[in-house]
Amino acid sequence: MLVAEENVDFRIHVENQTRARDDVSRKQLRLYQLYSRTSGKHIQVLGRRISAKGEDGDKYAQLLVETDTFGSQVRIKGKETDFYLCMNRKGKLVGKPDGASKECVFIEKVLENNYTALMSAKYSGWYVGFTKKGRPRKGPKTRENQQDVHFMKRYPKGQVELQKPFKYTTVTKRTKRIRPTNLS
């Protein structure tokens, strides 16, 4: 006999699965912009410098987001510069040419208000955040509930998804077929 538990919280399971790299999941690559709630602009990876001053469709605001785990661990790379968004041990956002280190891995969290927050995988509790002027905030000064760390994913102007959207059909009520009558 199976007993169903109410109010089961799967966050712990997802968090544990997110931490482990697996060879089963295939790497996914998506292209989009991250719109900053505070600056009203998009995150830019300008080589070693990071800002949130990019206009919609700006070539430096186009980000390639790589996922290669079950959960929500991502690496973010500037499409134009090929530099990765990383957070160093002081909590400063920097661009690095090689995104292999744990400093360049972020955990994507979808918040209750439908914004996305990016928490450092190496430094738990430190988030990617920007001021109203688009300057990066240091990780230790950020919290999940601050508007500074809230982002919205947007496709670049005139850009369609790299992956084709899932096509589905609607199921409608079947109607009776009318058999032809013999007129003999």
Task: Determine the pLDDT at residue 53.
Answer: 95
Task: Determine the pLDDT at residue 24.
Answer: 54
Residue 183 token pair? 């007129």
Residue 115 · residue 108 · CB < 8 Å: no
Assign 72 a pLDDT band (cuts: 50, 70, 90).
confident
- Determine the residue type at 92: K
Domains of the chain: 13-154 (2.80.10.50)
How confident is the model over 138-167, as a mean pLDDT?
Answer: 79
What is the chain's alpha carbon radius of gyration, rounded to the nearest angstrom? 22
Phi/psi at 111 (5° precision): -90, 170
Assign 174 a pLDDT band (cuts: 50, 70, 90).
low
